[in-house]
Amino acid sequence: MKAILEFQLPEETYEYETINKAKAYKAIVEEIRETLRTYRKHGHEFESADDVICKLECLVIELLNDEGIVE
């Protein structure tokens, strides 16, 4: 099977870049899921929902930076 995606550049630059980063986004989602699974399975030391939100936000930013995606 072969799939060919075509884009009209520069009009569809955003779409083109998004497709090119899809593998990195998938890796980020998998890492977040694994982190959440680990918290659920092994426990955590969060004291509030705000602590969880802050931790996950920092994780997302770190993973985006690791993948070279600047948001």
Q: What is the 3-state secondary structure (H, E, C) of 5-40?
A: CCCCCCCCHHHHHHHHCHHHHHHHHHHHHHHHHHHH
Residue 38, in any domain of the structure: yes
Confidence of residue 5 (pLDDT cuts 50, 70, 90): very high
Summarised one tens digit per residue, pLDDT across range 36-59 is 999 999 999 999 999 999 999 999
Q: 68 falls in which pLDDT band (50, 70, 90)?
A: confident
Domain coverage including residue 52: 13-66
> Would you say residue 27 lies in a domain?
yes
Name residue 2's amino acid: K
Counting the structural domains of the chain, the total is 1
